[in-house]
Amino acid sequence: MTTTVLDRIGLLVTNDIAAGAGPLGLVRNASVVFEGDRIVSVAGAGQIADRRIDADGACVIPGFVDSHTHLVFAGDRGDEFAARMAGRPYEAGGIRVSVAATRGATEAELLSLADGRRAEARRAGITTVEIKSGYGLDAHHEARCLRVARSFTGDTTFLGAHVVPAEFEGRTDDYVHHVCTDMLSAALPYARWIDAFCEVGAFDEHQSRAVLAAGRAAGLGLRLHANQLGHGPGVQLAVEMGCASADHCTYLSDDDIAALAGSDTVATFLPATDFSTRQPYPDARRVIDAGATVALATNCNPGSSYTTSMSFCIALAVRDMRMTPEEALSAATVGGASALRRGDVGRIAPGCRADLVVLEAPSYTHFVYRPGVPLIRSVIEAGSLT
Ligand code: NIG
């Protein structure tokens, strides 16, 4: 098999503390050799391989791991966003607008739309992506959305418990039963994870617990939308159920932070959502200082966060959530990998997948220092220059 060296890297972020300096495992004047889709070695500049790519002194980071997206949908909610900027509050009810558009699209159309968004995300440096369903909300359409998602990632998440669809209005418990039985059976062939939106206006603690328990009994891993729009039981439930991640964590009590810190549940922050819905930002500083593992993700979706820009999320996390540039970059790479329970991505180390992003910058600090500027020069995903 052909070997390739990415050579003359000015500053390499490995996220491997054994390989370099500080928590990011920084190596200066480095090169990385990969073969097929795997990294073979990390060393000083000048390693020899069959093929050579010149990084020309740039900073190279692991590909971003985006552990929370809803990439499969049809339709546009730009008007809802504009109304929000004019003062209207974010309401999860807008999800039903996307459900109608998604049900009305063909599978080929959904595939093409998701493919465009996945390509956009890749250009933004995202090499691993999780994708949720949640705009089908019946057995047929949820399975269809997950089948589409499966063509982009193994990290697919069944989110039948996103909101109650119109045909179940006023019958939330009946809908939860449907989610836990027929919909779950239809989703199972295409899903690795199960999720629920635990929030006032969506599903309460009892209903969310029932969904997670049914998913676990069926062999799925657990994740939870928790504490997005207000304080509530979501984070504690996520910890109690052993969820891989509690996502949003915008409103956290002291007890929530202590629970996260004492658990394996990753606190996944989605600051582009708080930006787009005019919510406060999560208190990441306190969560990190308490000792919890954190991740950053885009939450790309048509309602609350229509962006594939992890660079933007990093800038918000540093500027408005008091994370350091190092913490933010770590959360967007190896933190996302933890949230997906993946050891093969998010780091640049022998044996890991060859996901490398060459920046148009000498340092990752430029994500914050130069906000809004396209800083991704090239992306190598699973050993292929994309
Ligand atoms: O994570 N909170 C629930 N789901 C999405 C929003 C979906 C939408 O508004 O369409 C989120 O923010």
Q: Which residue would you say has higher pLDDT here, 228 or 90?
A: 228
Closest residue by Cα to atom 9, ligand 1, is 303
Residue 308 pLDDT: 98
Q: What percent of the chain has pLDDT over 70?
A: 100
What's the CA angle centered on 266, arms 264 and 269, to 5 degrees? 165
Mutate to test the pocket of ligand 1, among 70, 164, 227 (most ligand atoms within 8 A of CB): 70
**Residue type at position 171:** R
Q: What is the CA(35)–ligand 1 centre distance, in A?
A: 39
pLDDT tier, 96 (very low <50, low <70, confident <90, very high otherwise): very high
Any ligand 1 atom below 6 A from CB of 95 = yes
Closest residue by Cα to atom 11, ligand 1, is 304
The pLDDT tens digits for 147-202 are: 999 999 999 999 999 999 999 999 999 999 999 999 999 999 999 999 999 999 99
The pLDDT tens digits for 356-381 are: 999 999 999 999 999 999 999 999 99
- How many angstroms separate the Cα of 63 from the Cα of each of 93, 232, 233? 34, 34, 33
- How many angstroms separate the Cα of 53 from the Cα of each of 41, 192, 330, 358? 15, 35, 25, 11
For the segment(s) 3-63+346-385, the CATH number from 2.30.40.10, 3.30.420.40, 3.30.70.1520, 3.40.50.1820 is 2.30.40.10
How is the chain split into domains, by residue range?
3-63+346-385, 65-339
Any ligand 1 atom below 6 A from CB of 301 = yes
- Return the ligand 1 atom nearest residue 229 CA: 2
Residue 250 pLDDT: 98
Mutate to test the pocket of ligand 1, among 97, 158, 162 (most ligand atoms within 8 A of CB): 162
Closest residue by Cα to atom 6, ligand 1, is 304
For residue 160, give every residue at least 6 positions away whose Cβ sits within 8 Å of its Cβ, in sequence order, or none.
Answer: 133, 134, 136, 137, 142, 178, 179, 183, 184, 187, 211
Closest residue by Cα to atom 3, ligand 1, is 197
Any ligand 1 atom below 6 A from CB of 378 = no
How much of the chain is in helix, strand and coil states, percent to nearest 5? 35, 25, 40
Closest residue by Cα to atom 12, ligand 1, is 304
- How many angstroms separate the Cα of 101 from the Cα of each of 37, 84, 109, 251? 37, 20, 11, 31
**Residue type at position 304:** S
What tokens appear for 60 in the block? 């190279």
Location of structure tokens 């836990």: 180
Residue 267 pLDDT: 98
What's the CA angle centered on 255, arms 252 and 257, to 5 degrees? 55
Burial class (CB in 10 A: 0-12, 13-18, 19+), 205: middle
**Residue type at position 259:** A
Residue 99 pLDDT: 98
Closest residue by Cα to atom 7, ligand 1, is 303
What average pLDDT does the segment 243-269 reach? Answer: 98
pLDDT tier, 93 (very low <50, low <70, confident <90, very high otherwise): confident
Q: What is the CA(303)–ligand 1 centre distance, in A?
A: 6
Any ligand 1 atom below 6 A from CB of 277 = no
- Return the ligand 1 atom nearest residue 277 CA: 12
Polymer length in residues for the chain: 386
Would you say residue 11 has pLDDT above 90?
A: yes
- Provide the Cα torsion 144, 381, 357, 291; round to 10°: 60
What's the CA angle centered on 257, arms 130 and 292, to 5 degrees? 55
Q: Rounded CA gap, 340 and 131, in Å?
A: 11
Would you say residue 75 has pLDDT above 90?
A: yes
Location of structure tokens 């629970």: 259
The pLDDT tens digits for 144-158 are: 999 999 999 999 999
Q: What is the CA(163)–ligand 1 centre distance, in A?
A: 9
What average pLDDT does the segment 206-232 reach? Answer: 98
Would you say residue 330 has pLDDT above 90?
A: yes
pLDDT tier, 92 (very low <50, low <70, confident <90, very high otherwise): confident
Closest CA to 180 of 147, 156, 213, 155: 213
- Return the ligand 1 atom nearest residue 299 CA: 1
Residue 69, Cα to own-chain centre: how many angstroms? 5
CB 211 within 8 A of CB 230: no
- How many angstroms separate the Cα of 159 from the Cα of each of 78, 124, 134, 235? 23, 25, 5, 17
**Residue type at position 300:** C
Q: Rounded CA gap, 60 and 263, in Å?
A: 32
Average pLDDT, the chain: 97
The pLDDT tens digits for 38-70 are: 999 999 999 999 999 999 999 999 999 999 999
Q: What is the CA(374)–ligand 1 centre distance, in A?
A: 26
Architecture label for domain 65-339: Alpha-Beta Barrel (3.20)
Q: What is the CA(57)–ligand 1 centre distance, in A?
A: 40
- Return the ligand 1 atom nearest residue 135 CA: 10
CB 98 within 8 A of CB 135: yes
Q: Up-side HSE of residue 242: CA atoms within 13 Å toward CB?
A: 6
Mutate to test the pocket of ligand 1, among 95, 198, 273, 300 (most ligand atoms within 8 A of CB): 95
Residue 91 pLDDT: 82
The pLDDT tens digits for 272-309 are: 999 999 999 999 999 999 999 999 999 999 999 999 99
- Return the ligand 1 atom nearest residue 68 CA: 1
Q: Where are the alpha helices (DSSP H) in 307-359?
A: 310-320, 325-330, 336-339
Output the CA torsion sign for 314, 318, 323, 329.
positive
Any ligand 1 atom below 6 A from CB of 303 = yes
